[in-house]
Structure 1
Amino acid sequence: MGLSLDPNVTLPCRPRAEKESDVQEKANVEVAGIENAKSEVVTELENEAAQITRLERHIAPGEVQFLTNLLLKYGNDYKRMVRDKSNYYQHTYKQLKRKCEAFLLSKQGEQAMRQLEQQQM
């Protein structure tokens, strides 16, 4: 491009009124095309979201055994679980409560509790 004494003469600008109208026209044309595309894309995404299944957190076998033993000994008494000597990771009250609740809601927890009920019968 180089240097120029008067950039307004070298690069003429359109009046401001033309710029605004051009922008509005372009926006109207683009919006009309985007609305149709959005509706198709949105419906595809909604269909995908409806099909997604939530992945369940896997609980390690050692932790399953640890939690089942604590639940059998103490039930829902998390304060006594904290003081248990098998709690060698020194989990706190809230940590044990969260782990036990997640364990009982998981498929592994349901299976473990069913097995224990069958053994006791």
Structure 2
Amino acid sequence: MVRFIVRALIAALGLWLATRIVPGVAAPGGWTSLLIAAVLLGIVNAVVRPVVFVLTLPLTVLTLGLFLLVVNAAMLGLVALLLKGFVVRGLWAGVFGALVVGVVSWAGHLVVGDERERA
């Protein structure tokens, strides 16, 4: 449970950074919306993203993996659709927002580590 909370906080930090540097990504609801969006993003990535990944696998292979940026942007857009206090305006805002969130999550994973690696 602690691992999930830490990952959600890191994702919220990534979403906050995306709202600061990516035009078209906004969180008018403030930190509360960012935290809820981070939890929703985790749920969407766990439930919806694998299905979308399998359905778009031929296109992903054809584009040498670049289509995953569009898939990640779609997941961010789905969170924006589900949550009123989080906004993503357009595909490019979603792509760049997903890039920012992905890089911050990756860096957070490097800093925090993984409990499975310690065992």
Per the TM superposition, whether the score is higher than 0.5 is no
TM-score normalised by length of structure 2:
0.30
Question: RCO higher in 1 or 2 (8 Å CA, sep ≥ 6)?
Answer: 2
Structure with more helix by fraction: 2
* Structure (1 or 2) with the larger CA radius of gyration: 1
